[in-house]
Amino acid sequence: MEKFTTLHGIAAPLPLINVDTDMIIPKQFLKTIKREGLGVNLFDEMRYDDDGNEIPGFVLNQPAYRDAEILIAGDNFGCGSSREHAPWAIKDFGIRCIVAPSFADIFYNNCFKNGILPIALPQEQVDKLMADAEKGANARMTVDLERQEITTSEGEVIAFEVDAFRKHCLMEGLDDIGLTMEKSAAIDSYESRAAQSRPWV
Protein backbone atom coordinates (compact mmCIF):
# COMPACT_ATOMS: atom_id res chain seq x y z
CA MET A 1 0.00 0.00 0.00
CA GLU A 2 1.17 3.52 -0.83
CA LYS A 3 2.38 5.42 2.24
CA PHE A 4 0.65 8.55 3.47
CA THR A 5 2.78 11.04 5.35
CA THR A 6 2.11 14.64 4.33
CA LEU A 7 0.07 16.05 1.52
CA HIS A 8 0.19 19.57 0.14
CA GLY A 9 -2.43 20.16 -2.48
CA ILE A 10 -5.65 21.61 -3.82
CA ALA A 11 -8.82 20.93 -1.85
CA ALA A 12 -12.13 20.65 -3.74
CA PRO A 13 -15.35 21.70 -1.96
CA LEU A 14 -18.32 19.32 -2.22
CA PRO A 15 -20.87 20.75 0.22
CA LEU A 16 -23.37 17.89 0.04
CA ILE A 17 -24.53 15.67 2.91
CA ASN A 18 -25.07 11.90 2.53
CA VAL A 19 -22.80 11.53 -0.50
CA ASP A 20 -23.47 7.84 -1.17
CA THR A 21 -21.37 5.18 -2.84
CA ASP A 22 -23.72 5.11 -5.86
CA MET A 23 -22.86 8.80 -6.41
CA ILE A 24 -19.15 8.16 -5.93
CA ILE A 25 -19.06 5.28 -8.40
CA PRO A 26 -22.28 4.10 -10.08
CA LYS A 27 -22.90 0.38 -10.42
CA GLN A 28 -22.10 0.09 -14.13
CA PHE A 29 -18.44 0.56 -13.20
CA LEU A 30 -18.45 -2.23 -10.61
CA LYS A 31 -18.15 -4.84 -13.32
CA THR A 32 -14.40 -4.47 -13.49
CA ILE A 33 -12.16 -7.19 -12.14
CA LYS A 34 -9.32 -4.69 -11.58
CA ARG A 35 -8.69 -1.99 -8.98
CA GLU A 36 -7.32 0.64 -11.36
CA GLY A 37 -8.82 2.93 -13.96
CA LEU A 38 -11.96 4.04 -12.08
CA GLY A 39 -10.89 7.68 -11.57
CA VAL A 40 -12.36 8.81 -14.87
CA ASN A 41 -15.79 7.64 -13.64
CA LEU A 42 -15.56 9.11 -10.14
CA PHE A 43 -18.88 10.93 -9.44
CA ASP A 44 -19.89 9.88 -12.96
CA GLU A 45 -23.55 10.95 -12.89
CA MET A 46 -22.78 14.37 -11.42
CA ARG A 47 -19.73 14.84 -13.61
CA TYR A 48 -21.02 13.90 -17.08
CA ASP A 49 -24.31 14.41 -18.94
CA ASP A 50 -26.25 11.65 -20.72
CA ASP A 51 -23.99 11.97 -23.75
CA GLY A 52 -20.82 11.66 -21.72
CA ASN A 53 -19.91 15.36 -21.92
CA GLU A 54 -18.51 17.05 -18.83
CA ILE A 55 -20.98 19.12 -16.83
CA PRO A 56 -19.00 22.37 -16.39
CA GLY A 57 -20.59 23.30 -13.05
CA PHE A 58 -19.43 20.14 -11.24
CA VAL A 59 -16.53 20.96 -8.97
CA LEU A 60 -14.03 18.42 -10.33
CA ASN A 61 -14.67 19.65 -13.89
CA GLN A 62 -13.70 23.21 -12.99
CA PRO A 63 -10.15 24.16 -14.03
CA ALA A 64 -9.20 25.11 -10.48
CA TYR A 65 -10.07 21.68 -9.07
CA ARG A 66 -9.15 19.19 -11.79
CA ASP A 67 -5.98 18.30 -9.90
CA ALA A 68 -7.56 18.26 -6.45
CA GLU A 69 -5.92 15.91 -3.95
CA ILE A 70 -8.17 16.71 -1.00
CA LEU A 71 -11.98 16.65 -0.85
CA ILE A 72 -14.02 18.64 1.69
CA ALA A 73 -17.56 17.26 1.99
CA GLY A 74 -20.75 17.14 4.10
CA ASP A 75 -21.98 14.81 6.81
CA ASN A 76 -22.18 10.99 6.43
CA PHE A 77 -19.83 10.80 3.45
CA GLY A 78 -19.61 7.38 1.75
CA CYS A 79 -22.91 5.97 3.01
CA GLY A 80 -24.43 2.98 1.25
CA SER A 81 -22.68 0.01 -0.17
CA SER A 82 -19.42 -1.66 0.87
CA ARG A 83 -17.99 -1.35 -2.65
CA GLU A 84 -14.27 -0.67 -2.39
CA HIS A 85 -14.60 0.67 -5.93
CA ALA A 86 -15.54 3.96 -4.20
CA PRO A 87 -12.12 4.54 -2.57
CA TRP A 88 -10.42 2.99 -5.62
CA ALA A 89 -12.08 5.61 -7.85
CA ILE A 90 -11.20 8.43 -5.45
CA LYS A 91 -7.57 7.31 -5.27
CA ASP A 92 -7.35 6.76 -9.01
CA PHE A 93 -8.57 10.33 -9.57
CA GLY A 94 -5.74 11.53 -7.35
CA ILE A 95 -7.56 12.38 -4.12
CA ARG A 96 -5.70 11.10 -1.04
CA CYS A 97 -7.56 12.84 1.78
CA ILE A 98 -11.26 13.47 2.52
CA VAL A 99 -12.50 15.78 5.26
CA ALA A 100 -16.13 15.60 6.45
CA PRO A 101 -18.10 15.91 9.69
CA SER A 102 -18.70 12.14 9.62
CA PHE A 103 -18.18 9.08 7.44
CA ALA A 104 -20.10 5.87 6.91
CA ASP A 105 -18.40 3.00 8.72
CA ILE A 106 -17.48 0.62 5.88
CA PHE A 107 -16.30 3.40 3.56
CA TYR A 108 -14.14 4.82 6.36
CA ASN A 109 -12.45 1.42 6.84
CA ASN A 110 -11.99 0.95 3.12
CA CYS A 111 -10.13 4.27 2.80
CA PHE A 112 -7.37 3.18 5.16
CA LYS A 113 -6.85 -0.02 3.16
CA ASN A 114 -6.08 2.10 0.11
CA GLY A 115 -3.75 4.79 1.38
CA ILE A 116 -6.52 7.38 1.69
CA LEU A 117 -6.83 9.41 4.89
CA PRO A 118 -10.44 10.19 5.93
CA ILE A 119 -10.60 12.96 8.55
CA ALA A 120 -13.71 13.59 10.62
CA LEU A 121 -13.92 17.09 12.13
CA PRO A 122 -16.65 19.12 13.85
CA GLN A 123 -18.99 20.95 11.45
CA GLU A 124 -17.55 24.43 12.26
CA GLN A 125 -14.07 23.31 11.29
CA VAL A 126 -15.30 21.61 8.13
CA ASP A 127 -17.13 24.87 7.29
CA LYS A 128 -13.85 26.74 7.68
CA LEU A 129 -12.01 24.30 5.41
CA MET A 130 -14.92 24.39 2.93
CA ALA A 131 -14.59 28.18 2.72
CA ASP A 132 -10.84 27.84 2.23
CA ALA A 133 -11.34 25.22 -0.51
CA GLU A 134 -13.79 27.50 -2.29
CA LYS A 135 -10.96 29.96 -2.93
CA GLY A 136 -9.67 27.76 -5.75
CA ALA A 137 -6.40 26.33 -6.95
CA ASN A 138 -4.10 28.91 -5.43
CA ALA A 139 -5.30 28.13 -1.94
CA ARG A 140 -3.51 24.91 -1.10
CA MET A 141 -3.87 23.06 2.16
CA THR A 142 -1.37 20.87 3.94
CA VAL A 143 -2.32 17.64 5.68
CA ASP A 144 0.34 16.32 8.05
CA LEU A 145 -0.51 12.85 9.33
CA GLU A 146 2.47 12.59 11.66
CA ARG A 147 1.48 15.80 13.50
CA GLN A 148 -2.25 15.17 12.91
CA GLU A 149 -2.74 18.69 11.61
CA ILE A 150 -4.33 20.39 8.64
CA THR A 151 -2.94 23.83 7.73
CA THR A 152 -5.24 26.05 5.67
CA SER A 153 -4.00 28.36 2.91
CA GLU A 154 -4.15 31.18 5.49
CA GLY A 155 -1.86 29.30 7.85
CA GLU A 156 -4.54 28.33 10.33
CA VAL A 157 -3.83 24.97 11.94
CA ILE A 158 -6.60 22.48 12.70
CA ALA A 159 -5.80 19.34 14.68
CA PHE A 160 -7.49 16.02 13.93
CA GLU A 161 -7.84 12.60 15.56
CA VAL A 162 -6.91 9.29 14.01
CA ASP A 163 -6.71 5.79 15.43
CA ALA A 164 -3.07 5.04 16.34
CA PHE A 165 -2.95 1.63 14.63
CA ARG A 166 -4.46 2.95 11.40
CA LYS A 167 -2.10 5.92 11.45
CA HIS A 168 0.86 3.58 11.83
CA CYS A 169 -0.29 1.37 8.92
CA LEU A 170 -0.92 4.40 6.70
CA MET A 171 2.40 6.06 7.48
CA GLU A 172 4.35 2.86 6.87
CA GLY A 173 2.20 1.63 3.97
CA LEU A 174 1.71 -1.69 5.80
CA ASP A 175 -0.17 -4.67 4.41
CA ASP A 176 -2.79 -5.81 6.93
CA ILE A 177 -2.69 -9.41 5.79
CA GLY A 178 1.05 -9.64 6.38
CA LEU A 179 0.56 -8.24 9.90
CA THR A 180 -2.20 -10.72 10.71
CA MET A 181 -0.22 -13.65 9.30
CA GLU A 182 2.35 -12.93 12.01
CA LYS A 183 -0.37 -13.89 14.49
CA SER A 184 -1.12 -17.24 12.89
CA ALA A 185 -0.23 -19.11 16.10
CA ALA A 186 -3.01 -17.23 17.90
CA ILE A 187 -5.43 -18.06 15.08
CA ASP A 188 -4.44 -21.74 15.21
CA SER A 189 -5.00 -21.87 18.92
CA TYR A 190 -8.36 -20.09 18.62
CA GLU A 191 -9.42 -22.66 16.03
CA SER A 192 -8.53 -25.60 18.25
CA ARG A 193 -10.45 -24.07 21.16
CA ALA A 194 -13.46 -23.38 18.93
CA ALA A 195 -13.38 -26.95 17.59
CA GLN A 196 -14.10 -28.02 21.18
CA SER A 197 -16.55 -25.34 22.24
CA ARG A 198 -18.45 -24.87 18.97
CA PRO A 199 -17.83 -28.03 16.92
CA TRP A 200 -20.88 -27.38 14.71
CA VAL A 201 -19.25 -24.34 13.13
Partner 1 sequence: MTGKTLYDKIWDAHLVDCAEDGTSLLYIDRHLVHEVTSPQAFEGLRMSGRTVRKPGNTIAVPDHNVPTTEGREAGIENEESRIQVEALDRNAREFGIHYYPVSDVRQGIVHIIGPEQGWTLPGMTVVCGDSHTATHGAFGALAHGIGTSEVEHVLATQTLIQTKSKNMKVEITGKLAPGVTAKDITLSVIGHTGTAGGTGYVIEYCGEAIRALSMEGRMTVCNMAIEGGARAGLIAPDETTFAYVRGRPHAPKGAQWEAALAWWKTLQSDEDAHWDKVVTLKGEDIAPVVTWGTSPEDVLPITANVPDPSDFTGGKVGAARRSLDYMGLEPGQKLSDIEIDTVFIGSCTNGRIEDLRAAARILEGKKIKVKRAMVVPGSGLVRAQAEEEGLADIFRQAGFEWRMAGCSMCLAMNPDQLAPGERCAATSNRNFEGRQGRGGRTHLMSPAMAAAAAVTGHLTDVRELMQPQAEPA
Q: C-alpha distances in angstroms, 100 versus 13, 113, 122, 145?
A: 10, 18, 8, 16
- The one among 5, 6, 8, 17 contacting partner 1 by CB under 8 A: 17
CA distance 117 to 4: 8
Binding region for partner 1 (CB under 8 A) out of 31-39, 62-70, 89-97, 142-150: 31-39
Q: Which of the stretches 10-18, 51-59, 91-99, 149-157 binds partner 1 when contact is defined by CB under 8 A?
A: 10-18
> Which residues, 6 or more positions from 79, have their beta carbon under 8 angstroms from its beta carbon?
18, 19, 20, 21, 104, 107
Single residue of 7, 9, 69, 84 touching partner 1 by CB under 8 A: 84
Residues of this chain, 141-180, that bind partner 1 according to CB under 8 A: 163-165, 176-177, 179-180
| Structural contact between residues 89 and 29, judged by C-beta atoms closer than 8 angstroms | yes
Is 47 a binder of partner 1 (CB under 8 A)?
no
Q: Which amino acid would we find at residue 198? A: R
User: What distance in Å separates the CA atoms of residue 42 and residue 25, rounded to the nearest whole number?
Assistant: 5
Closest distance of CB 22 from partner 1, Å:
4
CB of residue 161 vs partner 1: minimum separation in angstroms? 13
Instruction: Give the span between the Cα atoms of 73 and 71, in whole angstroms.
Output: 6
* Residues within the interface to partner 1 (CB under 8 A): 15-18, 20, 22-23, 26-28, 30-35, 45, 50, 74-76, 79-84, 87, 102-106, 109-110, 113-114, 163-165, 176-177, 179-181, 183-184, 186-187, 190-191, 194, 198-201
